[in-house]
Amino acid sequence: MQIVVDLNRCQGYAQCAFLAPQVFQLHGEEALTYAPAVPDDQLERVRGAATACPVQAILAGEQ
Ligand code: F3S
């Protein structure tokens, strides 16, 4: 699965980094980095993070 985070929309809520720390890392309050190609063992965590993000900044596409 490939993901894109809309970094203009991201407000640094950190739910993603909490739920899927192997994929999302927050550096400071709003500097988010992430791995766009999600390994299979992280799929459920990333889906949970996408649901939990208060501003729906995580866009997931099945690939
Ligand atoms: Fe940003 Fe949403 Fe994560 S606001 S830090 S992408 S939970």
For residue 38, the domain's CATH number is 3.30.70.20
Residue that has been written with the tokens 């950190």 in this structure: 14
Distance CA 32, CA 25 (A): 6
The model's pTM is: 0.91
- Average pLDDT in the 41-52 region? 96
- Average pLDDT in the 20-39 region? 94
Is ipTM > 0.95 here?
Answer: yes
- Dihedral angle sign, alpha carbons of residues 62, 10, 54, 23: positive
Per the structure, how many domains does the chain have? 1
The pLDDT assigned to 61 comes to 74
% of the chain exceeding 90 in pLDDT = 87
Is the confidence at residue 63, as pLDDT, over 70?
no
Write the CA distances from 33 to 10, 17, 36, integer angstroms: 11, 9, 9
The ligand 1 atom nearest the CA atom of 56: 2
Ligand 1 and 15: CB distance under 6 A: yes
What letter represents residue 51's amino acid? Answer: T
Ligand 1 and 53: CB distance under 6 A: yes
Give residue 16's domain range.
2-61
